Amino acid sequence: MKGLPFQPVSTLRRRSKRLAAAAPTDLIGVAGFTTVATVLLVSINVSSTVARAAVGFPLLFLVPGYVTVSALFPRAAPAQQPQADDRQFIQQTQALTDVERVALSFGLSFALLPILGLVIALTPWAFTGPVVVGTVACFALIGVSLATARRLSVPPADRYQIDFGRRFEAARVAIFDATSSFHVVVNVALVCSMVLAMTTVGYALVAPQDGEQYTSLQLLTEDETGELVASGYPSEIDAGDSVPLVVAVENQEGQGMEYTAVVQEQRLEGGEVVERTELQRIDYAVEDGTTTYADRELTPETDDGTVRIAVLLYMDDDVPERPTTDNAYRSVYFGTEVVDDGLFEDG
């Protein structure tokens, strides 16, 4: 049998059982959860509130700290007398209970997330949800690899392991085997409150922030220093003269957008618009997170009177037959007085 190029099936089975017994089931579970959570949040982009919260909170606030604690504390108890030939670079000198490991996992996760954020800031990638999730997932999988290597280097008798059956039984006894029904109700209420709190925070952090999406429209002029400002509009315009203005559109809608701006001269009488004259139309193609500027020379067509120069912004080219301030997606305007120099010459 020794000369055979293969090993008996019984030997392979025994080794497989030993390998399965030695495998860190908690770290394997963390790696599997991280992979599934990343796929759900990035690739599939699950829109369910409950699903995003259920996978988002532990991925961000438990997994990074847990793999770090597992890498730093691979033993159930510290080695009493480290051997001279011990090749571990970091020696464990303190024993941790399960409660302490969980508490440290949450604390380290909160401490590690800003550091991972700085890493993202040093890269050319934008600070978006998929980038954050991908960065945390990469850190977690690398941490799982290091923690597994350190734990397997510890003798099996000293190696930290989780007996899930015993842990669940202890939790059940602590919650439901209380001295009175009142204490059981209090324990259940506390557990439900913790789950609800974690779910709410997790969803708030991983859900799309629709409130941050907007389009900004500005009508600008150039001041004495050459800076563009939303002020300095002329109070009077000579009939036939043009006014230099800049129409700026900022896109924060989360994707590239196309707009159409309608520039109107609105004649006012008694504060009411009695006549509208279209002066120009401007088409914009604006990438997300950028601002596009259009320099324009606007010449009112009226000879005299109070007018309002208005810019009405619409999505794409969906401009109604009668553009108004009410049906525009965004609008901005200023009022001015058109004067006819010819009147003064005749006088």
Q: Fold for 212-346, please state it.
A: Immunoglobulin-like (2.60.40)
CB 310 within 8 A of CB 210: no
What is the per-residue pLDDT for 155?
A: 86
Return d(Cα 81, Cα 69) in angstroms, integer: 22
Q: What distance in Å separates the CA atoms of residue 334 and residue 233, rounded to the nearest whole number?
A: 7
Model confidence pLDDT, tens digit, residues 153-165 = 888 888 888 765 6
CA 116 to CA 67: how far, in whole Å?
Answer: 15
Query: Tokens 């019984």 sit at which residue?
Result: 10
Distance CA 74, CA 160 (A): 6
Give the predicted TM-score (pTM) of the model: 0.50
Task: Pick the closest to residue 330 from 310, 308, 309, 314 (CA basis).
Answer: 314
Scan for tokens 């409130």, then name that residue: 211
Q: Which two tokens stand for residue 256?
A: 């590239």
Q: Is the dihedral of CA 111, 120, 50, 62 positive or negative?
A: negative
Own/partner pairs for 221-228, CB < 8 Å, 24+ apart? 221/245, 221/246, 222/246, 228/293
Q: What is the pLDDT of residue 1?
A: 47
- Residue 18's Cβ-side half-sphere holds a number of Cα atoms within 13 Å equal to 8
DSSP state of 75: B
Parts of the chain with a pLDDT under 70: 1-23, 45-50, 79-90, 92-93, 163-212, 341-347
pLDDT (0 to 100) of residue 196: 62
Query: Which two structure tokens, joined as six digits, stand for 133?
Result: 């999730």
- SS3 at position 178: coil
CB atoms within 10 A of CB 151: 21
Q: Which long-range contacts (CB under 8 A, 24 or more apart) does 19-25 make?
A: 22/152, 22/156, 22/159, 24/70, 24/147, 24/148, 24/151, 24/152, 24/161, 25/161, 25/162, 25/164
What CA–CA distance (Å, rounded) separates 91 from 82? 8
Tell me phi and psi for residue 200, to 5 degrees. Answer: -65, -45
DSSP letter string, 127-159: --HHHHHHHHHHHHHHHHHHHHHHHHTS-TTTB
Output the six-digit token pair for 118: 């700085």
The pLDDT, as a whole number, for residue 213 is: 79
Task: Please report, for the chain, the start and end positions of each structural domain, with discontinuous segments joined by +.
Answer: 9-208, 212-346
What is the number of H-type helices and E-type strands within the chain? 9, 9
